[in-house]
Structure 1
Amino acid sequence: LNSAPGDAFVERFLVGAMSGDSALRHLRRTKDAALITGGDRPDLQRVALEAPGVKTLILTGGFRPPGAIVGAAEEKGVPVLLVQSDTLTTVERAEDVVRSGRTRDAETVERMRDLLHDHADVEAILDGADSEGEGRANDDE
């Protein structure tokens, strides 16, 4: 809905379904998040724009937010996406995208590489995959 860059880096999805005051306490503690909430919840949208960790707003139900919200998001460089689906369906679709691995931007790929390097024994995983492949070949003989 605005001209903010559409490629914000997001590590988590948050669902906005509580009061604005309660949400603000949670949102202030978050980092690199997309808030999924109803387009008819300007109270949550306003609070989310006050939280530096919210990188994008995904507004559900096809409800267009007030101009003040769009303007504030524009000023802060926060993309606002409007979807027709309900909040639950939108959350499920977002989870499907993450689960399917269809996040191939350079920053995500680099982050995954770093996580694997720091926390996984990649050689052991690859050796295990090679062993399984050999085992299957031997089973077929």
Structure 2
Amino acid sequence: MLRATSIRDIVTALNGKILCCEEKADELIEHFVIGAMNLESAIKHFKKISDKAVITGGDRSDIHAAALETSTKCLILTGDLYPSYSILGRAHEANIPVIVVRADTATTIETCEKLADTTQLNNMSKIQHASGIIEKEVDFETIYRKLGLTK
């Protein structure tokens, strides 16, 4: 979760354009999946991974449709290729943002992975999650007592 990247940060890093569901731009993406396989393999693979962005060529409507049928949080289409109206309509109905970027798929995944590698705690969801982990896992009372900071 702490490595997660917001859709907004992805759009900015890729100089992309959100085609629908822009209100979801602050959602966090935990996994990036490349959709460069055949349809059957894609469906199996997509079902295994949640909280993901699927990165694929803008001309792969079969992969777009498969991604929209699973727990995909964002669809990133490469090559400055736009989806069909039916895919865009399905994405809108499923409330899944679709982003179009100029870069190719390899460059896009590389950029997204770099974003994930730079942990940013500037998102309220991340801050709350980190705070919860710290509260649960750190025994502050014992630390304060050992430091002589409690009565």
The alignment's TM-score, normalised by the length of structure 2, stands at 0.71
- The Cα RMSD (Å) is 2.0
| Match 1:30 to one of 26, 49, 60 | 49
Q: Which has the higher contact order (CA 8 A, sep 6+)?
A: 2
Aligned to 1:20: 39
Checking the alignment, whether the CA contact within 8 Å between 1:61 and 1:86 is kept in structure 2 is yes
Aligned to 2:26: 7
The alignment's TM-score, normalised by the length of structure 1, stands at 0.76
Quote how far apart the aligned CAs of 1:95 are: 1.2
Per-residue displacement from partner, 1:40-90 (whole Å, max 9, x unpaired)? 111100000011x21110111100111111000000000000000001111
Which ranges in structure 2 are unaligned for 5 or more consecutive residues? 1-18, 141-151
Q: Which moved more, 1:30-39 or 1:103-112?
A: 103-112
Distance 2:100 2:110 in 1: 16
Quote how far apart the aligned CAs of 1:99 are: 1.4
Q: How does 1:122-137 map to 2 (within 5 A)?
A: none
Q: Which amino acid aligns with 1:91?
A: I
Q: In the alignment, is residue 98 of structure 1 matched against residue 102 of structure 2?
A: no
Q: Which amino acid aligns with 2:85?
A: G
Q: How does 1:47-58 map to 2 (within 5 A)?
A: 47-51=66-70, 53-58=71-76
Distance 2:121 2:84 in 1: 31
Aligned to 1:77: 95
Quote how far apart the aligned CAs of 1:18 are: 0.4
**Poorly superposed stretches of 4+, deviation over 3 Å:** 112-119
Q: Which moved more, 1:101-110 or 1:91-100?
A: 101-110
Q: Which amino acid aligns with 2:122?
A: R
Distance 2:119 2:49 in 1: 23
Q: Which amino acid aligns with 1:80?
A: V
Q: Which moved more, 1:93-102 or 1:69-78?
A: 93-102
Checking the alignment, whether the CA contact within 8 Å between 1:8 and 1:56 is kept in structure 2 is no
Which ranges in structure 1 are unaligned for 5 or more consecutive residues? 124-141
- Indicate how the Cα distance of structure 1 residues 103 and 86 shifts in structure 2: closer, same or farther if over 3 A, else same: farther
Checking the alignment, whether the CA contact within 8 Å between 1:73 and 1:80 is kept in structure 2 is yes
Larger radius of gyration: 1
Query: SS of the residue aligned with 1:94?
Result: helix
Checking the alignment, whether the CA contact within 8 Å between 1:57 and 1:78 is kept in structure 2 is yes
